[in-house]
């Protein structure tokens, strides 16, 4: 199972490296990592997606909580929350028929065509992890030329 962990950390040089080292040093994988400033310029928010069972996540959150630069750690997975990921992808569209199918598929997922080239279409899409995975699965018959993913971000709903 994938777990979404939000951490508020002090916005200091080296904090990101220490957090990543802490998790990877224990042999755990980080599937996605997103870091950005908060309303307080001295604090950053890290959203980390870590696959693993409850024991692994309990250990990761416990170890993160002990770090001096970490202000707060919240496992969002079992809480009410909203999560999103942004993807930009370029899909080969060798003919008008393929281009029309790709544009129609993008519209079904509320994605936007942000660029049209002679032999490809560039699409921007934001959605939760499952929606992004479904969209990419349906694009499998087409050649993906390039893809960039932001990683997951999440906020609580309580």
pLDDT digits (tens, 9 = 90+) for 47-89: 999 998 989 899 999 999 999 999 999 999 889 999 999 999 9
Q: What CATH code is assigned to 82-156?
A: 3.30.70.1150
CA distance 50 to 48: 6
Backbone phi, psi, residue 86, to 5°: -105, 135
- The full DSSP string for 77-134 is TTS-EEEEEEEEEEEE--SHHHHHHHHHHHHHTT-EEEEE-SSEEEEEEEE-HHHHHH
User: Is there a contact between 48 and 3 (Cβ–Cβ < 8 Å)?
Assistant: no
Average pLDDT over residues 22-43: 93
Cα separation values, 16 from 11, 48, 140, 157, Å: 9, 11, 34, 26
The residues spanned by each domain of the chain are 2-75, 82-156
Decide whether 2-75 matches 82-156 in CATH topology.
yes
What's the first-to-final CA gap in the chain, in angstroms?
23
pLDDT of residue 158: 76
pLDDT of residue 26: 87
CA distance 135 to 75: 26
The tens digit of pLDDT for each residue in 90-139 reads: 999 989 999 999 999 999 999 999 999 999 999 999 999 999 999 999 99
Q: Structurally, what CATH architecture does the domain formed by 2-75 represent? A: 2-Layer Sandwich (3.30)
């Amino acid at each position: 199972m994938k777990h979404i962990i939000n951490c508020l950390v002090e916005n200091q040089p080296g904090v990101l490296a220490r957090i990543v080292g802490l998790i990877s040093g224990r042999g755990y994988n980080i599937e996605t990592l997103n870091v950005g400033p908060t309303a307080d310029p001295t604090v950053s928010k890290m959203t980390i997606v870590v696959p693993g069972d409850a024991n692994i996540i309990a250990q990761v959150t416990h170890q993160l909580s002990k770090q001096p630069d970490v202000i707060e750690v919240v496992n969002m997975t079992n809480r009410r929350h909203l999560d999103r990921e942004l993807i930009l992808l370029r899909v080969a569209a060798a003919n008008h028929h393929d281009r029309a199918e790709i544009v129609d598929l993008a519209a079904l997922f509320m994605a936007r065509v942000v660029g049209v080239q002679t032999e490809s279409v560039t699409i921007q899409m934001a959605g939760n992890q499952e929606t992004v995975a479904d969209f990419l699965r349906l694009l499998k018959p087409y050649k993906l030329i390039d893809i960039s993913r932001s990683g997951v971000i999440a906020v609580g709903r309580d």
